[in-house]
Amino acid sequence: MGSKSKYTIINCPTLKNRKVACLTLDVEQDYGDLLNEPSYEGLAHIPELVNFFKAKGIPLTSFVQGSLFETHPGMIDQLAELDVEFELHSYSHPKPGQMDSKVEIEKGGEAYRKFFSKDPIGYRAPLGIINSKDYEILASNGFKFDSSVFPSLRPGAFNNLRKPTKPCFVDNAKVIEFPFTVFSSIIRIPIALSYIKLLGKPYLYLLRAFNLPKLIVFSFHLHDLFQLSSSGKIPFEKSSFIYKRIFNRIYSEGKLNGLQLLNEFVSLLRKRGYAFSKLVDIYQVVSEQGPK
């Protein structure tokens, strides 16, 4: 949330008594805004992802870059073979300095409506960067919930260490925010596939040993799951040394199988007693029980 946003934590008795995990996939151009020219190699791996989720029998929430409804409709149709919820992930996934949220939200919503003949109700902003005005734009365009906020720190991008770690109402817009899950309000390390790949065994040990939150909103991308040749086009020379090492570790080293790591994470959650749900179903529960 932006610095001017106020929020109300939602007290939802139903969620307090359940362990629920929402697996959320950002369907977008390769590596988001990192490449100088958009590449879509990751979309070719959607059939593998579909086979994985069919075998696991679990639902999926997909936040789709709006332009893909126009340029790659067949890939979206393949993804629709699953028990999947489709929401919006901006229109063109621009770089932060090139972001016009009003255009991204409205143009993306138009592409979504043309494809599905209905309105989207959920949104995810590129890079998790969203502010108070963006929430107002979402509300004015009929969106009911957002899932953009990393309640953590990313130097040069955001400092959300004061942001809530639980679902909350954004008071200026009456939109519900579902933050990405972190280990706790103290240990604000996101629970996401990219962090599993980045931090390796110590992180997996934490996942196995820690008392995880009851509601987990877990994020991943196709380029987290599959090794893409387009990783060779990431302009590392423009990155700081630390970000170069991070991007190399997650995307280029090729030592960690993303789909295998996702499988291990799903198995871990099942052993811990988690059920799997689409984010829209959690929204329905929260909106019925939270403040009006």
Average pLDDT for residues 5-31, to the nearest whole number? 92
Three-point CA angle 154, 149, 145, nearest 5°: 165
* Mean pLDDT, rounded, for 15-28: 95
CATH topology of domain 7-289: TIM Barrel (3.20.20)
pTM to 2 decimal places: 0.94
Name the nearest CA neighbour of 172 among 2, 287, 9, 5. 5
Query: Sorting pLDDT into bands at 50, 70 and 90, what band is 254?
Result: low
Residue count of the chain: 292
With a cut of 80, say whether residue 5 has pLDDT above it. Answer: no
245-271 per-residue burial string, b: 16 or more CB within 10 A, e: under 16: eebebbbeeeebebbebbeebbeebee
Contact 175, 132 (CB under 8 A): no
pLDDT at site 158 = 87
pLDDT band, very low/low/confident/very high, at 271 (cuts 50, 70, 90): very high
- Phi/psi zone of residue 174: left (φ > 0), alpha (ψ -120 to 50 degrees), beta? left
In angstroms, rounded to a whole number, what is the distance separating the alpha carbons of residues 93 and 99?
8
6: confidence class by pLDDT, cuts 50, 70, 90: confident
- Residue 79 pLDDT level (bands cut at 50, 70, 90): very high
The confidence score (pLDDT) of residue 119 equals 97
Over the stretch 182-233, which tens digit does the pLDDT of each residue have? 999 999 999 999 999 999 888 989 999 999 999 999 999 999 999 999 998 9
248 or 10: which leads in pLDDT: 10
| Cα 258 from Cα 248, distance rounded (Å) | 14
**Contact between 176 and 168 (Cβ < 8 Å):** yes
Q: How far is CA 141 from the centre of its chain?
A: 20
What distance in Å separates the CA atoms of residue 174 and residue 144, rounded to the nearest whole number? 8
The overall longest dimension of the chain from CA atoms, in Å, is 50
pLDDT score of 136:
96
